[in-house]
Amino acid sequence: MKKTLNVIKVGGKIVEDKASLERLLNAFCKIKGDKMLVCGGGRTATKVSEALGIPTEMVGGRRVTDAETLKVVTMVYAGLVNKQVVASLQAKGVNAIGLTGADLDCIHSERRPVGKINYGYVGDISEVKASAFANLIELGIIPVICPITHNGKGMLLNTNADTIASAVASAMADLYDVTLTFCFEKNGVLSNPEDEDSVIPEIRKADFIRLRDEGIVSEGMLPKLENAFKAIDAGVNKIVITNADNLGKDSGTEII
């Protein structure tokens, strides 16, 4: 029987707000057994870009990443956010280590080809080295991954944190019984975005297509769900989309 592994992704407003991040990290600490954290930081990157006078351009929820923006996201994701999270976890007795995809060569990506849009230094994941993470986990170390990858030729690339969480969970599913949880500021996938009580408890693939076609699910939720179904197809056991404050509780939306 495989050991269980919890992969938790946190992003959105949670990372930016000290109190909500603290609550999330406390809940993360309470999760028993092997675990990993994937931590975004897009809002902080936008603020630092602003302070540096670098314009932020988003297309379909994705950041267009020119050379200067790549520096900013590397500083914010791999430095500021990741190391603050690692230091907080260490203070709570969790032996965390912060990682980009370049560290241990754990997440390889290819720069996205220029199509209708030139996303710049954005990387699409080509390989996740599950063994690199497993080696750390076997030493009792908790990986904290930030959304920076590399192409193996010395170039860092900006990669969506939801996509990283799904790809990592998928790769780890060969070795572990994986549960992937997306934590954010809403209670789950809502049938009415204005009503936090309208959580859809379960979504199957057929439901997803209907929800998408009816426009009930849109914007930021679309890539999250697409990533989730990819992970299910790749062998991830369970996927939950829930409020960061409900991590560890039986709540939110389960993807089946």
Nearest residue to 46 (alpha-carbon basis) of 38, 56, 36, 37: 56
Q: Are 94 and 35 in contact (CB under 8 A)?
A: no
| Interface pick for its own copies out of 11, 40, 98, 123 (rule CB under 8 A) | 98
Does 47 sit near its own copies (CB under 8 A)? no
222 is an interface residue for its own copies by CB under 8 A: no
- Residue 156 touches its own copies, criterion: CB under 8 A: yes
Part of the chain binding its own copies (CB under 8 A), chosen from 89-97, 164-172, 209-217, 245-253: 89-97
Supply 170's token pair: 């998928």
- The bridge status of strand 156-158 relative to strand 148-150 is antiparallel
CA distance 85 to 89: 6
Stretch touching its own copies by CB under 8 A, among 31-39, 101-109, 112-120, 247-255 = 101-109
Q: Which amino acid would we find at residue 22? A: E
Minimal distance in Å, beta carbon 130 to its own copies? 15
Residue selected from 103, 124, 127, 207 as contacting its own copies according to rule CB under 8 A: 103
**Measured between alpha carbons, how far is 43 from 10 in angstroms, rounded to an integer?**
13
CA distance 186 to 210: 21
Quickly tell me which residue has 């297309």 as its tokens.
59
With binding defined as CB under 8 A, does residue 77 bind its own copies? Answer: yes
Residue with smaller CB distance to its own copies, 43 or 230: 43
Q: How far is the CB of 102 from its own copies (least distance, A)?
A: 4
Residue with smaller CB distance to its own copies, 74 or 179 = 74
Contact residue for its own copies among 113, 139, 192, 194 (CB under 8 A): 139
User: Is residue 91 within the footprint of its own copies (CB under 8 A)?
Assistant: yes
Task: Tell me which of 69, 74, 160, 253 binds its own copies, using CB under 8 A.
Answer: 74
CA distance linking residue 99 with residue 146, whole number of Å: 6
Helix or strand (DSSP H, E) at 88: helix 82-91
Do 23 and 244 contact (CB within 8 A), yes or no? yes
Give the footprint of its own copies on this chain (CB under 8 A): 48, 51-53, 71, 74-80, 82-84, 86-88, 90-91, 95-100, 102-105, 135, 139, 141, 148, 150, 152-156
